[in-house]
Every structure is written in structure tokens, then in C-alpha cells.
Structure 1
């Protein structure tokens, strides 16, 4: 993905679009398993800030939708009152969903 002068990403490749769509499917599955037990979203490492950012389920869906539309996702984080214990990593979600569903091939090669 390459930024355009107007702040958007511009068109994304077919592979990037397929990856973002697969991430959306995974995200829906992760939320369906984990939201009922109190998980509010994901902790995502930010290379720019060199720390984890806490992203709610809705915020993550919006970011992936923006990427699919060729827009630059906002560099937004939840407020400081969010508890890190209520957020998990993408890898944790993938492992939890694989175990819960009995499907140990939940997009094993997708990295985010």
C-alpha cells in the first residue's frame, strides 16, 4: 500500500484486498467468540509509536473497511481508561478461535 498526496492509500492490490477481507471475516469470528467473555478488542503493535494501541471491535472493522476503500485508516486509539486486560493480540484471537471451533487452520498464514 502506498500513500497518495491526498492522504489516501490509493488502490490496493488484489492480494491486499483479499487479505483485508480475510481479516474482516476473522475479526467477526474473533468478536463472536471473545466479546461475550469480556474481550473488548485487540492490542495492536504500532511501529510509529513503539507501543501497543488498544482497538475496539468496531474501530478495527472501520480501519479494515477504510483500507478496502483505499483510504488511510485513522491513527486512533481508545481512551486511556481502557484496561489492557480487556484486549488481546491477533495471535491470541487466532489460537482461541481455532481451539473453540476445532478448526486449526483459521487463516494460518495471514499475519497482521
Structure 2
């Protein structure tokens, strides 16, 4: 399920003064190596499985601790998948707003999701 169709229209669509057009080449992502591409593709598959088995348990996505801002960042499944697909396409990740007041109990770490998926497959 993708929510792209539910997103508001880009306010800069077809605008020659789109602020993104002013990004320098240095701000564009580096092309992925074959190994990086395979790694992201594998993570995208894992993410889909995580969502499949954890969503019914009330888990909405993944939480990451950010060393830079020393805070937690909460990402819904579809936001992470969209970011990974953008990387695979050689694009910058789309701008997104974090969920308003996320409920931390509805998010797990990537390592937790990996362990849960491993246990799920063994049952």
C-alpha cells in the first residue's frame, strides 16, 4: 500500500523556481555501488516483512536514535520504504513530516524487528 496518491500536490510542481532546482551537484546523492544497491534492496524486502508481521500487533514502524540531535526519530513503514526506493532511484529522500506526537510504544528498533522476524520464521 502506498500513500503517494493521498499526499498533497507538490507546491513547486512545474515551477521553474523550485527550491530543489537550486541544489548543487554536491547535494545530490552519490551513485550507489552494486553492494549498496543489494543491501538496500534486501532491507526493503525485510521492511515489507516487518510491516506484514508487526502491523497486526500495533507496531507502526521503526525508531532510530539520532546521535546528531540526541533524540529519537519515528518512521512509519511507508516513509521508510519510500526513502529506500528514492535511494535506489538515485534521488534525494522526499520531504516528509513526522507523525504528530508519535506513541513510542508503537515503534521498534531495526534490531528488534530483525529478531522478531527471525523468531517468527522459526515457529
Q: Do they fold alike, i.e. is TM over 0.5?
A: yes
Larger Rg: 2
* 74-83 vs 91-100, which moves further: 74-83
Q: Aligned partners of 2:85, 2:118: CA distance in 1, in Å?
A: 24
Q: CA deviation at 1:9?
A: 0.5
Listed as ranges, the gaps of 5+ residues in structure 1 are 104-112
Matched with 2:120 is: 100
What is the TM-score when the length of structure 1 is the normalising length? Answer: 0.79
What is the TM-score when the length of structure 2 is the normalising length? Answer: 0.73
Matched with 1:64 is: 84
- Select 1:9's aligned residue among 29, 34, 42: 29
Matched with 2:105 is: 85
Q: Deviations over 1:8-50 (max 9, x none)?
A: 2131110110000000010011111100010000002223322
Pairwise CA RMSD = 2.0
Matched with 1:110 is: none
- Select 2:65's aligned residue among 45, 51, 55: 45
3-state secondary structure, aligned to 2:73? strand
Q: CA deviation at 1:56?
A: 0.2
CA contact (8 A) 1:41 1:87 kept: yes
Listed as ranges, the gaps of 5+ residues in structure 2 are 1-23
Q: CA deviation at 1:76?
A: 4.3
More helix by share: 2
Q: Aligned partners of 1:57, 1:23: CA distance in 2, in Å?
A: 12
Q: What number of residue pairs does the alignment pair up?
A: 100
Residues 1:65 and 1:27: Cα distance change in structure 2 (over 3 Å):
same
